[in-house]
Amino acid sequence: MATPEGNFDDNLEKEFYIPTYILAPDASQSEGLHLSDVPTCPVLVFINSKSGGQLGGDLLHTYRSLLNKYQVFDLGEETPDSVLRRLYLNLEKLKSNGDEYATKLEERLRIIVAGGDGTAGWLLGVVSDLKLSQPPPIATVPLGTGNNLPFSFGWGKKNPGTDQNSVISFMKKVMDAKEMKIDSWHILMRMRAPKEGSCEPIAPLELPHSLHAFHRVSSSDDLNVEGFHTFRGGFWNYFSMGMDAQVSYAFHSERKMHPEKFKNQLVNQSTYARLGCTQGWFFASLFHPSSRNIAQLAKVKIMKKHGEWQDLHIPHSIRSIVCLNLPSFSGGLNPWGTPNSNKRRDRDLTPPFVDDGLIEVVGFRDAWHGMVLLAPNGHGTRLAQAHRIRFEFHKGATDHTFMRIDGEPWKQPLPVDDDTVVVEIAHLGQVKMLATHDCRSKSINDPSSHVNHDGDDGDSGGEEDSVGEEQRKFGAAETFKIPDEVDIAHLS
């Protein structure tokens, strides 16, 4: 192992370093290793080297200089599913041969992933899909633009330092972090195949490419329906639809055409604000046709109890709707807030726990309405909490709308005849995150999360269903593997 400056070497080996024979099946076993030598916090490090401008590459170099180069992976060179499959197959072989060191190391193993929310979600989906007997908890390094995932769990939202001291400081925080489970959500979209024209209702490159993607299901998948196109995917933080997704789509389209203008985080954020103005989001009542308001676009149903769908009333002024899992949206805002005791009693609303199997559904009228999130106790229009939610789009209001999953937007065609486009979101499962002890995410199993805070003073302006085995996966380990021709810098 390379020796960094100072006296870090011995401590890093005892705390984080993984021997080569654990990582490489063909490596000879190290002699003289005992149970007492197992590192306190062995880490696998996955880095999107193209995230954050030069930061991803710099971070990769620093981690490889501090740790075993075989425990640090560039996601531009190797996918996380191939890495984890190889590692866990080797661990099983070693354990079956009586290797107690390997057994103890597996129990302590943690993952660090550095990149944007798309990169972090990709790792989460792979770990979820592989269904490991002891899935490692995951810490996220913020290298993207929004960084909602890292911010939700206390890892910050600013791009971190890449020098040795900064990296060692982060690893120490990972060692001290607590484990917290987080809900994952399956999303399905189904539309009738067109009678003529292109067989693809959505151009493939228009769709998000990471885990948070719809993907045509195979003919053997029981979600497929004859005569329909079916897409499936998953998300960790949010699904949104309407005008906020339209602004996001304009931003991503401009970044795709002029990538050289989007290498600075501050410039990116100011460009986003400018597009919010030019797209009419701040003056939606004047520039946004009411035919595109959510209530005109779709009939919405929610499921609070097993097998019982009920209609959800959407006020006619709502132009954007967000289905939210984590308390961080658009760079750290919390659209749900904390309902006060009256709201909890009268409307059966709870705080936004990340592991309660419920998704929070929030509406916004325009960007000015969104600005209330900057105020203490500010929040959007609370519409519901549910285990499942279903949008049914019928012919009429418009031929398209805009949708977004965890920061990745696309333009969605809507019916031109009497058919229906269906988007359905359902609770999928859970995965283990690593969180700092003062993070904003709250667990329903943590007694300190249930302290009866009074919360806000008013609304701005309202059993898990069983699913088949095919639906109990993201497909991130195979189906959602990023295509070779896609530049993963755009995932951040």
Rounded (10°) CA dihedral 206, 212, 215, 221: -170
In this prediction, the residues of the chain whose per-residue pLDDT falls under 70 are 1-10, 30-31, 193-215, 247, 251-292, 331-332, 339-346, 366-379, 396-397, 418, 447-492
Backbone angles phi, psi at 470, to 5 degrees: -60, -35
The whole-model pTM stands at 0.80
DSSP 3-state percent helix, strand, coil across the chain (nearest 5): 35, 25, 45
What lies within 8 Å, CB to CB, of 320 at 6+ separation is 240, 241, 242, 243, 244, 245, 294, 363, 364
CB 15 within 8 A of CB 175: yes
* d(C-alpha 339, C-alpha 351), whole Å: 6
CB burial readout 156-180, b (16+ within 10 A) else e: bbebbebebeebbebbeebbebeeb
Can you give the three-state secondary structure of 360-396, one letter per residue? EEEEECCHHHHHHHHCCCCCCEEEEEECEEEEEEECC
pLDDT in tens, 25-58: 877 776 678 888 999 999 999 999 888 777 889 9
User: CB-based burial of residue 415 (10 Å sphere; 0-12 exposed, 13-18 middle, 19+ buried)?
Assistant: middle
For residue 476, what pLDDT is reported?
66
135 closest CA partner among 123, 152, 146, 143: 123
Q: How far apart, in Å, are the Cα atoms of 27 and each of 20, 78, 105?
A: 7, 19, 17
Determine the residue type at 444.
Answer: I
Q: Dig out the tokens for 486 from the structure.
A: 């896609």
* d(C-alpha 291, C-alpha 293), whole Å: 6
What lies within 8 Å, CB to CB, of 49 at 6+ separation is 56, 57, 60, 74, 75, 76
Specify the residue for token string 């400081």.
Answer: 169
- Pairing type for strands 238-242 and 72-74 reads unpaired
Q: Dig out the tokens for 273 from the structure.
A: 């604000």
Cβ-based neighbour number of residue 375 at 10 Å:
9
Q: Dig out the tokens for 47 from the structure.
A: 């880095």
For residue 152, what pLDDT is reported?
92
* d(C-alpha 449, C-alpha 308), whole Å: 29
Q: Dig out the tokens for 437 from the structure.
A: 């002890």
For residue 224, what pLDDT is reported?
80
DSSP tag of 126? H
For residue 17, what pLDDT is reported?
95
Q: Dig out the tokens for 364 from the structure.
A: 């916004």
CB 362 within 8 A of CB 322: yes
Angle at 86 between CA 216 and CA 52, to 5 degrees: 65
State in Å, rounded, how far the first CA of the chain is from the last one.
Answer: 31
For residue 441, what pLDDT is reported?
93
- Pairing type for strands 178-192 and 420-435 reads antiparallel
Three-state DSSP at 473 gives coil
pLDDT in tens, 423-455: 999 998 899 999 999 998 999 988 666 554 445
Three-state DSSP at 166 gives helix
**Which segments of 279-340 does DSSP mark as H helices, in order?**
284-287, 294-297
* d(C-alpha 217, C-alpha 224), whole Å: 7
Q: How far apart, in Å, are the Cα atoms of 436 and each of 45, 107, 332?
A: 18, 20, 16
Length of the chain: 492
Specify the residue for token string 């979820």.
Answer: 128
